[in-house]
Amino acid sequence: MTRVSFDEMKSTIKKAFVIAGMSEIKADVCARVHTESSRDGVYSHGLNRVERFVDYLIKRLVDANAEPSLISTPGVMEVYNGNMGPGILNAKFAMNRASEIAKKNGLGLVSLNNTTHWMRGGAYGWQAAENGYVAICWTNTESCMPPWGAKSCSVGNNPFIMAIPRKEGHVVLDMAMSQYSYGKLQVTRLKNKKLPYPGGFDNNGNLTDDPVSIEESRRILPIGYWKGSGFSIMLDLIAALLSGGLSTSGIDKLNRGSCGSCSQVFIAIDPLKNNTQEFVDNILNGTIGQLKSSVRANENEKIYYPGEQSLKTRKENMSLGIPVDDDIWTRVKSLANL
């Protein structure tokens, strides 16, 4: 397995983005987020997503130069048009703006319409936590999952993120509404393995852990069966209502690439507006302590708090280099004329 240093990966991705039409400054930010995603183990939305993003820039499905513009300020909230600019830049802007409002008001809510794929949703949770804010954010997507009771896809897998800042390591949840991504199905299939737990229905309507059967039926499972299906619908509707933007059904009709013209919500809260740092530390460490002292299901497997495994992977990849798929890495280098 080839491993690449953070700096080499970032500068390569940046070059590819500049060649595809982004400014130096914007390419730098986007390349950093892609590289950080790979660094943290989210390869699907890091290096592995670079080619598709470049393709979208070329096809004008993403406007490299567009910036978010303020549409309205309903009460204490702010609503922006993402103007089909790069999803990473729009989302970073929105979470930053929500945090600025939270600094003043304790609570900030910013929504975005007409934006594009934000890549790894967790990036904006980590961003807020790094700046000292509790964050909740989510996006809607095009249809890619059957709602409960259906066998055709008509809801999104709408990633949902919650983050809490913590000195010893932020606590960050980053989850899509499907039990497994199509990427996970593919990786499992290529290894000739079964999924760890059932991940969808086969064409006969039976629950299965066989990735091939699910890829065939396209019936990926919502988390918690009917619960994740309902949760996905609510996230979609609320994102569209808050941002005055499109819901999944509108995104499907527009059909401008993955997540093209999607709607997103960013909530930031200042945990120190009402608490001492000591109280915050006690709450976090009390809960993490209780987690860690639970009886393990398997003696040899640790119990992790949300985000802990990302930090572990980050440490490893910063020390050893970030693992890459050789073919993908070669192709990204060629996009960067390297």
Which residues are CB-neighbours of 30 under 8 A, at least 6 positions away?
Answer: 13, 14, 17, 22, 53, 86, 88, 89
131 makes contact with a second copy (CB under 8 A): no
Stretch that binds a second copy, among 9-17, 84-92, 114-122, 283-291 (CB under 8 A): 283-291
Which contiguous run of DSSP H or E holds residue 87? helix 87-105
132 makes contact with a second copy (CB under 8 A): no
Q: How many whole angstroms separate alpha carbon 21 and alpha carbon 30?
A: 13
Which residues are CB-neighbours of 156 under 8 A, at least 6 positions away?
Answer: 140, 141, 142, 143, 144, 145, 177, 232, 236, 248, 251
Smallest gap from residue 130 Cβ to a second copy (A) = 17
Catalytic residue among 34, 45, 117, 170: 45
Which token pair is 217? 């039926």
Smallest gap from residue 326 Cβ to a second copy (A) = 30
Pairing of strands 207-208, 200-201: antiparallel
Give the length of the chain. 338
Interface pick for a second copy out of 11, 83, 249, 313 (rule CB under 8 A)? 249
Interface pick for a second copy out of 132, 198, 321, 323 (rule CB under 8 A)? 198
Q: How many whole angstroms separate alpha carbon 293 and alpha carbon 286?
A: 11
Q: How far is CA 324 from CA 51, 104, 258, 320, in A?
A: 14, 42, 23, 12
Smallest gap from residue 173 Cβ to a second copy (A) = 5
Stretch that binds a second copy, among 17-25, 69-77, 89-97, 185-193 (CB under 8 A): 69-77
Stretch that binds a second copy, among 53-61, 91-99, 232-240, 324-332 (CB under 8 A): 232-240
204 makes contact with a second copy (CB under 8 A): no
Interface pick for a second copy out of 148, 169, 331, 333 (rule CB under 8 A)? 148
283 makes contact with a second copy (CB under 8 A): yes
70 makes contact with a second copy (CB under 8 A): no
User: Does the annotation mark 117 as catalytic?
Assistant: no
Interface pick for a second copy out of 82, 228, 257, 260 (rule CB under 8 A)? 228
Give, as ranges, the residues between 149 and 188 that touch a second copy (CB under 8 A).
149-155, 162, 164, 171, 173, 175, 179
193 makes contact with a second copy (CB under 8 A): no
Burial pattern 50-71, b for ≥16 Cβ within 10 A else e, equals beebbebbeeebbbbebebeeb
C-alpha gyration radius of the chain: 20
77 makes contact with a second copy (CB under 8 A): yes
296 makes contact with a second copy (CB under 8 A): yes
Q: Which C-beta is closer to a second copy: that of 21 or that of 230?
A: 230
Of 139, 136, 141, 179, the residue nearest 161 (C-alpha): 136
Smallest gap from residue 55 Cβ to a second copy (A) = 28
334 makes contact with a second copy (CB under 8 A): no
Decide: 102 and 133 in contact? Cβ < 8 Å. yes
Q: How many whole angstroms separate alpha carbon 69 and alpha carbon 72?
A: 9
Interface pick for a second copy out of 33, 66, 119, 269 (rule CB under 8 A)? 269
Residue positions annotated with a catalytic role: 45
